[in-house]
């Protein structure tokens, strides 16, 4: 329903006076504030009230802030791990999960190898001494949330965890690299220790976790929220997967949300999942109906309603494991890694050799890197196991910065450009400009360029990459397997429709998210449901550039089914394109992105 002038003035006042949207609007308090304002400010306020459309600008600025978001973050979660535990399958739950398309192909296979180590760690012989001071004692001492809440959603989660002790074992194995660091950062900020268990709910402690909603890393930041909190995402690396940077950003986010909701950590956690705006709106609805505004009384998205109970159930397990028949493995209250300043870009295979560790251990501790080396712009640091840190520092000190990555001497030929050269040598034009002191992208025939390159062959980085990739893509599924080469103008929707499969399936089979860009020339594996998939893949009848991306504003009475019918698209695809939950109602005025065939559109 469209807001009237009073409602619009209320909204403008909230923006001007920086009032939270759950605070009651009191005209008397407004006049008190106005008495402190200058004539110029008063003029502006009344002008804004007369021209209520001006609030749309303020609205846009507010929506850019993730604290005001009304969008549920679709996290990778722990469903894959749960299914693996329940089915009793081999420990490959993490290996078969999607990976960020930004990761170079050779590093994707390396990441899968590293993921194997999450679920299949090298078994150390048991130590003779008893661990007197373990990490679990520190974790328990920092618990703050009410674990005694009597709620069916908590009981359901608790019963599942208690009946699947193998899940807890696997989570502890995965989290053993990161938990000490995360818990100590939580403790330094004076935040509840339960926050340190949040990566279990978000990613099952998989540092490479990547959801179909494009959330990445232990803390499952989507791209826009990551950027808001200073997490850089570029060709070389993605700090949403950086253990140190993402932990700092996540705790900052949670801290701000807790402040927003007056120290109520259950509301802060709910807002981390569904957005501060979603929680505030639910509180406002309850307040208007004279109902309580605590987390347990709010009508929130289904995923969010189960999000906090999951965390509380986990905390109860870790608080008193014996009560639930669970034995936690010993975990020392000691750091697993050290942060070593490198001072310059560094080849990752070379770093593994210098530290005396397998490269998969380097990847598990430094999962943000998309390429064969650390980023040339920094931060120049590497996480290394504690017991190998001094060895690494000593070896690093013996190698000049110029020798820490390999260099090729390239002579520019006719037809070359910085773009084409950077593509051929797996780097970027900006890196070539930087290392060659170029002021522009202009180069001349015969000019010599220094190009950074991997010091080892691909096998040193990927650990049998082709075999790993083939194993994933050769896994038997329903349908006929075809290989499809992406062409200009292709979209996931085009390809999925022609092969009678869903957008999400095509993306998942190829380690991608539905929102990822499709580059011409990329080869996809598709398990087609058509009668002649090979012919279809080679000779598509689809006219080039007949599909258009259009924006659609939801009208009163609209539903996903009605919009899908009108534009001849699939309901599931609309939900996928817009990260929507099928169970949630559309709101009039809501903006949607559609990919429609203009030959079939109204």
Quick one: which of 315, 313, 317, 323 has its CA closest to 155?
313
Residue 531 CB coordination number (10 Å): 9
Which has the higher per-residue pLDDT, 42 or 358? 358
What is the distance between the alpha carbons of residues 21 and 386, in angstroms, rounded to a whole number? 47
- The DSSP string of 195-238 is GGGHHHHHHTT-TT-B-TT--BTTTTB-HHHHHHTT--B-SSBB
Residue 290 CB coordination number (10 Å): 6
Tens-digit pLDDT profile for residues 11-66: 444 444 444 444 444 444 444 444 545 545 545 544 544 444 444 434 444 556 87
pLDDT band at residue 516 using 50, 70 and 90 as cut-offs: confident
What is the distance between the alpha carbons of residues 458 and 470, in angstroms, rounded to a whole number? 16
What is the distance between the alpha carbons of residues 544 and 566, in angstroms, rounded to a whole number? 22
Q: Say whether pLDDT at 467 is over 50.
A: no
Q: What is the pLDDT of residue 64?
A: 66
Question: Is-cis flag, bond preceding 190, omega within 30?
Answer: no
Q: Say whether pLDDT at 596 is over 60.
A: yes
Tens-digit pLDDT profile for residues 427-442: 778 888 888 989 988 9
Q: What is the pLDDT of residue 470?
A: 54
Quick one: which of 319, 335, 404, 302 has its CA closest to 77?
302
| Domains, the chain, with CATH or none | 5-64 (no CATH), 79-122+132-324 (1.10.530.10), 337-399 (no CATH), 406-454 (3.10.350.10), 476-537 (3.10.350.10), 547-597 (3.10.350.10)
Q: What is the pLDDT of residue 36?
A: 47
Region 409-427: mean pLDDT is 89
Region 483-494: mean pLDDT is 87
CA angle 401, 404, 409 (to 5 degrees): 95
pLDDT band at residue 69 using 50, 70 and 90 as cut-offs: confident
Cα separation values, 304 from 73, 271, 289, 317, 474, Å? 10, 8, 21, 21, 36
Q: Which of 29-38, 398-407, 490-499, 554-563 has the lowest mean pLDDT?
A: 29-38
What is the distance between the alpha carbons of residues 119 and 175, in angstroms, rounded to a whole number? 10
What is the distance between the alpha carbons of residues 206 and 202, in angstroms, rounded to a whole number? 9
Which has the higher per-residue pLDDT, 212 or 170? 170
What is the distance between the alpha carbons of residues 87 and 85, in angstroms, rounded to a whole number? 6
Q: Catalytic residues, which ones?
A: 202
Q: What is the pLDDT of residue 3?
A: 44
Q: Which of 110-114, 163-167, 322-326, 548-552 has the lowest mean pLDDT?
A: 110-114
Region 156-167: mean pLDDT is 92
Q: Say whether pLDDT at 186 is over 90.
A: yes
User: What does the block give as tokens for 263?
Assistant: 């120290």
Quick one: which of 331, 392, 398 has its CA closest to 366?
392
Region 303-319: mean pLDDT is 96
Model-wide pTM > 0.75: no
Q: Say whether pLDDT at 104 is over 80.
A: no
Q: What is the pLDDT of residue 128?
A: 44
pLDDT band at residue 522 using 50, 70 and 90 as cut-offs: confident
Q: What is the pLDDT of residue 89?
A: 53
As a whole number, the mean pLDDT across the chain is 80
Q: What is the pLDDT of residue 6?
A: 44
Q: What is the pLDDT of residue 50?
A: 45
Q: What is the pLDDT of residue 570?
A: 77
Which percentage of the chain shows pLDDT scores above 90?
42
Contact between 372 and 400 (Cβ < 8 Å):
no
Which percentage of the chain shows pLDDT scores above 70?
73
Beta bridge partners of 591: 553
- The DSSP string of 509-537 is HTT--TTSPPPTT-EEEEEE-SSSHHHHH
Contact between 193 and 333 (Cβ < 8 Å):
no
Which has the higher per-residue pLDDT, 70 or 469? 70
Residue 105 CB coordination number (10 Å): 15
Q: What is the pLDDT of residue 1?
A: 43
Q: What is the pLDDT of residue 407?
A: 81
Q: How far apart are the two ends of the chain, measured CA to CA in Å?
A: 26
Q: Say whether pLDDT at 152 is over 60.
A: yes
Rg (CA), the chain: 27
Backbone angles phi, psi at 388, to 5 degrees: -110, 0
Contact between 99 and 207 (Cβ < 8 Å):
no
Quick one: which of 367, 371, 385, 481 has its CA closest to 422?
371
Q: What is the pLDDT of residue 589?
A: 83
Tens-digit pLDDT profile for residues 252-295: 999 999 999 999 999 999 999 999 999 999 999 999 999 999 99
Q: What is the pLDDT of residue 76?
A: 64
Tens-digit pLDDT profile for residues 214-227: 899 999 999 999 99
Cα separation values, 127 from 134, 174, 289, 328, 394, Å? 14, 20, 60, 16, 29
What is the distance between the alpha carbons of residues 100 and 222, in angstroms, rounded to a whole number? 12
User: What does the block give as tokens for 85?
Assistant: 């535990």
Query: Is 235 exposed, middle or buried (CB count within 10 Å of its CB: 0-12, 13-18, 19+)?
Result: middle
User: What does the block give as tokens for 281?
Assistant: 């709106």
Beta pairing class for 480-485 and 448-453:
unpaired
């Amino acid at each position: 329903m469209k807001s009237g002038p009073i409602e619009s003035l209320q909204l403008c006042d909230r923006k001007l006076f920086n009032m939270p949207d759950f605070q009651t609007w009191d005209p008397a308090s407004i006049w008190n504030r106005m008495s402190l304002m200058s004539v110029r400010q008063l003029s502006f306020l009344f002008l804004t009230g007369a021209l209520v459309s001006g609030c749309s600008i303020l609205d846009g600025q507010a929506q850019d802030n993730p604290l005001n978001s009304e969008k549920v973050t679709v996290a990778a979660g722990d469903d894959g791990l749960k299914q693996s535990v329940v089915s009793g399958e081999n420990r490959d739950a993490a290996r078969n999960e999607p990976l960020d398309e930004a990761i170079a192909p050779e590093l994707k296979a390396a990441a899968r190898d590293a993921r194997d180590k999450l679920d299949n760690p090298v078994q150390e012989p048991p130590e003779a001494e008893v661990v007197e001071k373990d990490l679990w004692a520190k974790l328990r001492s920092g618990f703050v949330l009410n674990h005694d809440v009597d709620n069916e959603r908590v009981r359901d989660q608790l019963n599942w965890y208690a009946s699947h002790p193998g899940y807890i074992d696997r989570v502890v194995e995965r989290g053993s690299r990161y938990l000490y660091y995360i818990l100590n950062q939580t403790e330094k900020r004076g935040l509840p220790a339960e926050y340190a268990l949040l990566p279990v709910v978000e990613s099952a402690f998989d540092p490479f976790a990547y959801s179909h909603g494009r959330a990445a890393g232990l803390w499952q930041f989507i791209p826009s929220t990551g950027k808001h909190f200073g997490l850089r995402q570029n060709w070389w690396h993605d700090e949403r997967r950086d253990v140190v940077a993402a932990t700092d950003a996540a705790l900052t986010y949670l801290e701000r949300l807790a402040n927003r909701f007056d120290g109520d950590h259950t509301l802060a956690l709910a807002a981390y999942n569904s957005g501060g705006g979603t929680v505030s709106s639910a509180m406002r609805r309850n307040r208007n109906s004279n109902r309580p505004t605590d987390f347990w009384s709010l009508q929130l998205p289904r995923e969010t309603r189960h999000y906090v109970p999951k965390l509380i159930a986990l905390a109860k397990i870790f608080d008193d494991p014996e009560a639930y028949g669970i034995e936690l493995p010993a975990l020392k209250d000691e750091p697993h890694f050290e942060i070593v300043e490198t001072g310059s870009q560094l080849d990752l295979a070379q770093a593994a050799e210098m530290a005396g560790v397998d490269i998969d251990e380097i990847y598990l501790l430094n999962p943000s890197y998309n390429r064969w080396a650390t980023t040339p712009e920094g931060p120049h640091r590497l996480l290394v196991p504690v017991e190998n840190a001094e060895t690494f520092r000593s070896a690093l000190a013996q190698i000049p910065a110029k020798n820490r990555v390999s260099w090729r001497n390239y002579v520019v030929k006719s037809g070359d450009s910085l773009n084409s050269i950077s593509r051929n040598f797996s780097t970027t034009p900006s890196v070539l400009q930087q290392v060659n002191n170029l002021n522009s992208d202009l180069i001349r025939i015969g000019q010599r360029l220094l190009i950074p390159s991997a010091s080892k062959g691909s096998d040193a980085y990927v650990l049998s990459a082709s075999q790993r990739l083939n194993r994933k893509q050769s896994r038997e599924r329903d349908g006929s397997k075809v290989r499809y080469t992406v062409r200009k103008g292709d979209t996931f929707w085009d390809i999925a429709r022609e092969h009678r499969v869903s957008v999400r399936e095509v993306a998942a089979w190829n380690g991608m998210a539905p929102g990822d860009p499709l580059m011409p020339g990329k080869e996809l594996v598709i398990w087609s449901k058509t009668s002649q998939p090979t012919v279809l893949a080679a000779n598509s009848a689809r006219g080039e550039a007949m599909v258009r991306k259009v924006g659609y504003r939801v009208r009163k009475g609209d539903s996903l089914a009605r919009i899908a019918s009108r534009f001849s698209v699939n309901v599931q695809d609309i939900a996928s394109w817009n990260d929507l939950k099928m169970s949630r109602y559309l709101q009039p005025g809501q903006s949607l992105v559609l990919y429609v065939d203009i030959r079939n559109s109204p």
